[in-house]
Structures are given as C-alpha cells and as structure tokens.
Amino acid sequence: MMISGTLSASLRRRLFCRSFLLQASWNFEQMQGLGALFVLSPLLRKLYQGEELQQACARHLSYFNTHPFIAPVILSGMAQLEVNGAGKEEIEEFRQLLMAPCAAMGDAFFWGGVRPFAAVVAMFFALHGSLLAPVVLLLIFNLPHLLVRIVGFSKGCELAEGVVDFLARCRLPDLAIRLKQATLILLGILCAGLTHNTLNFAALPWQWGGAIIPLVFTLGWLARHRLSPLLLALLLAALILVLPGLY
Amino acid sequence: MESFTPYLLGAGMAVLLGLDRTAALQIMVSRPLVAGPLVGFVLGDPLTGLTVGMLLELLWLCRMPVGASIPHDDTQITVSATTLAIALSATIGSGAGLTLGALLIALPLGKIGQHVERAVRTQNERLPAAALARLQLGQLPAVERLHLCGLGNFALGALTTYTVIVLVGRWLILSGAPFFLDLLTTQADWIKLALVLAGVATLLQALNVRRAYGLFFGGFLLTFLLLGVLR
C-alpha cells in the first residue's frame, strides 16, 4: 500500500494526462468503463500487487459514463479514496453518486452553453474571412474546458468525497443558461449582419431583410417538427438553385 | 493536372481530427470551423477551408455527443469537402461554385459517418471482456493496450468515412460539374446565407431557454435597423 496519504505530484500528472484518453475505447456496453481503469491503473499498480491488484482492477472495470471534462473530478476523487484506504463499497457509492449529475452538468454547460457561444463568436470572424475564427473558437472553448479539468482534478485529490459540495457551489447550470441567452442575442446580430451584406451584394433594398424573420420562424418550426438540419440545408439550397430557373 | 497528394494529406488530417470528436482530447479541433481552415492550411488554401467550416459549423452544433447518441459526422464532411474543393480546383477551376458543390455533395454522404461510428463503438464492445480475461491472467499492461486499440478503431472509422465521401464525392463532382458549377457560382451568396440560416434555425430549437425567439429577434432587429440607418 502507498505509505503517504496523498497522491504524489508525478502520479497526479500521469493520471491527469491519461484522463484525456478516457473515451478511447468508448463502447455501448460499459461506455467509459475501460477508460476509467486506464486512467486509474498507474495508481492501482502502486497501491496493490498480485491478487489484490487484479481484484482492484476488476472492480474499476465496470460501467462508467459521465461528461469527459468533469470525469477528472470523479476519477481523482476515487483515486484519493483508494489512497485513503476507503472500502470498495464506499468508492463504488461515490462513483455512482457523481456519474449522472456530473454528466448532466457537463452536457448542459459545455455542449449546451460554452460550445455554441464559442462557435457563434468565432462565426463573426469567419464571416469577415478572418483566419482568427478557429483560434477564437479554440480559445473561448478551451479556457473553461481546461480550467474545469485542472481545478476539478486537483479538488478531487484534495477533497475526495467533499468534492460533491464543491461541484454544487460551481453553479454550472446557471452559467449555462446565461451563456445560452448571450448566444441567442449574438446569433441575432450575426444574422442581421449577414443578411445586410447579402442584400448589399445583390443590390437589393435593405428593407427586404424583414423577410428573414418569417423565414427563420418557418425553418425553426420545421426543425421543431423533426426535419433534420441536413434536410433543412439541402431543401433551402435546392430552392435557391431551382427558383431562378422558374422565372 | 490533378495530384494525389492532397487526398493523402486529407486522409492524415481526417484521422487526426476524427480522433478529437470522441476518442481523444476533445479540444474541439474537430469542429468544422477549426477543421476546415486547418485542412485548408495543410493543403495550401485555408480560406476555402474557412468557407466550408463556416457554413457547416452551426448545422449540428447542438447535437450533443451524449451517451449512446451519435451526431452527424460534420468533421469528416468538412475534411472531405475541403480536400475535394482544393484537389479538384486544378482540374475544373477554383471558385465559390466548386467549394459549394463539394460541400453540398459531401453533406448527405456524411450520413455514412454515423453508421461507421456506430460500427466502431460496437466493435469496441469486445474490449472490456478481453480486458477482463487479460486481468485474470495478471496482464495489466495488456489491458492498457486494449484500451488504446479502441483509439485505433476510431482512427480506422474516421479514415473509412473520409475515403467513402471523397471517392463518391469526387465522382459526383466530376460528372456533374458542367451542369451545376455555373449555377452554384451565381447563387453562391444566397446559398451561403441559406446554410447559415438553416444552422441558426436548428440552434434556436436546440438552445432550450425561455424567450429564445425574443432574444434572437431583439438582437436581429436592433442590429438590422442600425445597419439600415447607417447605410
């Protein structure tokens, strides 16, 4: 067993780096299960040997599914519990307790909030033909991404089961709603700019831009009624290509 | 004279960027707006990649890679459309028409990516059982290698999707170019607007917040009126 009650810095680094490969063997059966064992295996190798090591690994080779960016919080918490000599039931309970809430929190914040916000801001640069667009997207997305990974991992190591309170204090769902609202306003501004430019190029009066409002409503209505983005895009492109031929 | 090199470079990028979607890092280099200019940069024309990426970025932005849900493979659509547009520019001439043609042909072909990824994830299902068998033999390093095999499966999947889109897409573009290239070039601005609007409409649905349409139209009207007055 490990003598010290905390994870060493080099072990922390190894576990953290491995967490970027958590989903390498994603599958429908255990989802990130094998990945979780892959992340924790350097620690387990240090803590156990022989039969004990096999049993510890087998315990961790089970269903694991959470948001990949918040997973380091859970995995480092589990690692700290292992180091503290917690029982297998306690570690399992910790993992079961956190997986689903962390998944929901991460999905809402990163996929629903940060990613659309970063993409829409970057679109402003892209529409002006600026090659800064990808840089802007990467920066806006990865600042919170890496921050959550790094802080989450170190808090998990520091607090073990106390990390639950830390996660609750982060208020990620509230932040996600604010980001979504900002994204919607930016999306409106983006559409207005693009419409204005297109009308300018086509030498049409700017008042024609008012037609965009019912068009977006109609497209939104179609999207709500399960018309996929693919069909929506192809339908619009086909209409634009066919309509001039009819007149 | 058409060269084979862009297709090879495109294949390398397809694998690297494809891994970022699910299997490794997830730092969003797989997003169309990043992947497009990156592929374009490697092939010597980042602006074509930027155009492709910009038009695709919003379409599947809110399709979450959550649990067992597999979103449309917009990464491989971007990589293959950019590669096709740049590689074929030597044969049929560059321009907005070719870029849009490559994009509109790659779009439906990207559906293949969903099936390929499902097959990859199904293929990965044998890995936990194999890992357990290795564990019982006390071979922990072999278990770690099995996990990394999954990475190989994802890479192979990305390459398969890219190859299918590029092969079918190339044939469709070369055989259809005389019919659609001029039309696409003349309607390029409208098609670009339409693709962005399709993305905006799907985003409006997906960003599930109260007063979504109010916030969007508020932003739109204020900006549009301001631009109209300043014109």
pLDDT digits (tens, 9 = 90+) for B66-93: 667 788 899 999 999 999 999 999 888 8
Confidence of residue B95 (pLDDT cuts 50, 70, 90): confident
Mean of pLDDT values over A168-177: 91
Instruction: For residue B220, give both structure tokens.
Output: 């739109």
φ and ψ at B61, to 5 degrees?
-60, -40
Assess whether pLDDT exceeds 90 at residue B148.
yes
Half-sphere exposure of A55 toward its Cβ, with a 13 Å CA cutoff? 8
Q: What pLDDT is recorded for position B199?
A: 94
Interatomic CA distance for residues B1 and B88, integer angstroms: 9
Contact indicator for A187, B216 with CB cutoff of 8 Å: yes
Please give the share of chain B, as a percent, with pLDDT higher than 70. 98
Interatomic CA distance for residues B116 and B123, integer angstroms: 10
Q: What pLDDT is recorded for position A77?
A: 94
A 199-238 → B contacts, CB under 8 A: 201-202, 206-207, 209, 212-213, 215-217, 219-220, 222-224, 229-230, 232-234, 236-237
Which of A61, A195, A217 faces B131 most closely, judged by CB atoms?
A61
Choose among B59, B165, B227, B118: nearest CA to A123.
B59
Is some CB atom of chain B closer than 8 A to the CB atom of A112?
A: yes
Which letter, b or e, does each residue of A161-195 get, where b requires 16 or more Cβ atoms within 10 Å of its Cβ?
Answer: bebbebbeebebeeebbebbbbbbbbbbbbbbbbb
Interatomic CA distance for residues B9 and B43, integer angstroms: 7
Assess whether pLDDT exceeds 60 at residue A246.
no
Is some CB atom of chain A closer than 8 A to the CB atom of B98?
A: no
Instruction: For residue B181, give both structure tokens.
Output: 């290239």
Contact indicator for B89, B35 with CB cutoff of 8 Å: no
φ and ψ at A31, to 5 degrees?
55, -105
Instruction: For residue A137, give both structure tokens.
Output: 């997207």
φ and ψ at A68, to 5 degrees?
-60, -25
pLDDT digits (tens, 9 = 90+) for B20-35: 999 999 999 999 999 9
Q: What pLDDT is recorded for position A1?
A: 46
Please tell me the distance in Å from A215's CA to the nearest CA on chain B: 9
Which letter, b or e, does each residue of A61-95 get, where b requires 16 or more Cβ atoms within 10 Å of its Cβ?
Answer: beebbbbbbbbbbbbbbbbbbbbeebeeeebbebb
Distances (CA, A) of A49 to A79, A164, B62: 16, 31, 45
Residues, chain B: 231
Contact A184 B25 (CB under 8 A): no
Map residue B154 onto helix, strand or coil. Answer: helix
Instruction: For residue B14, give both structure tokens.
Output: 């397809």
Mean of pLDDT values over B106-110: 95
Assess whether pLDDT exceeds 90 at residue B64.
no
**Which residues are A64's β-sheet partners?**
A31
Q: Which of A225-234, B46-55, B64-73 shows the lowest mean pLDDT across its residues?
A: B64-73
pLDDT digits (tens, 9 = 90+) for A76-121: 999 999 999 888 899 999 999 999 999 999 999 999 999 999 999 9
Please give the share of chain A, as a percent, with pLDDT higher than 70. 97
Q: Which single residue is written with the structure tokens 């831009």?
A: A209
Contact A116 B187 (CB under 8 A): no
Interatomic CA distance for residues A204 and B97, integer angstroms: 22
Confidence of residue A3 (pLDDT cuts 50, 70, 90): very low
Contact A188 B154 (CB under 8 A): no
DSSP secondary structure of A198-243: HHHHTT--GGGGGGHHHHHHHHHHHHHTT--HHHHHHHHHHHHHHH
**Which residues are A27's β-sheet partners?**
A31
B 128-147 → A contacts, CB under 8 A: 128, 131-132, 135-136, 138, 140, 143-144, 146-147
Contact A27 B23 (CB under 8 A): no
Assess whether pLDDT exceeds 50 at residue B38.
yes
pLDDT digits (tens, 9 = 90+) for A174-201: 999 999 999 999 999 999 999 998 888 8
Q: What pLDDT is recorded for position B67?
A: 66
Mean pLDDT of chain B: 93
A 149-188 → B contacts, CB under 8 A: 177, 180-181, 183-188
- Top-confidence residue, A209 or A47: A47
Residues, chain A: 247
- Top-confidence residue, A203 or B188: B188
Mean of pLDDT values over A50-78: 94
Assess whether pLDDT exceeds 80 at residue B44.
yes
pTM for this prediction: 0.94
pLDDT digits (tens, 9 = 90+) for A114-150: 999 999 999 999 999 999 999 999 999 999 999 999 9
Is some CB atom of chain A closer than 8 A to the CB atom of B90?
A: no
φ and ψ at A203, to 5 degrees?
55, 45
Interatomic CA distance for residues B14 and B42, integer angstroms: 12
Please give the share of chain B, as a percent, with pLDDT higher than 90. 80
Please give the share of chain A, as a percent, with pLDDT higher than 90. 74
pLDDT digits (tens, 9 = 90+) for B170-226: 999 999 988 889 999 999 999 999 999 999 999 998 888 888 889 999 999 999 999
Assess whether pLDDT exceeds 80 at residue B231.
no
Contact indicator for A187, B209 with CB cutoff of 8 Å: no
Q: What pLDDT is recorded for position B120?
A: 96
Confidence of residue A213 (pLDDT cuts 50, 70, 90): confident
Q: What pLDDT is recorded for position A247?
A: 57
Mean pLDDT of chain A: 91
Please tell me the distance in Å from B36's CA to the nearest CA on chain A: 9
Q: Least CA distance to A220: which residue of chain B?
A: B201
Map residue B70 onto helix, strand or coil. Answer: coil
Choose among B66, B69, B79, B83: nearest CA to B31.
B79
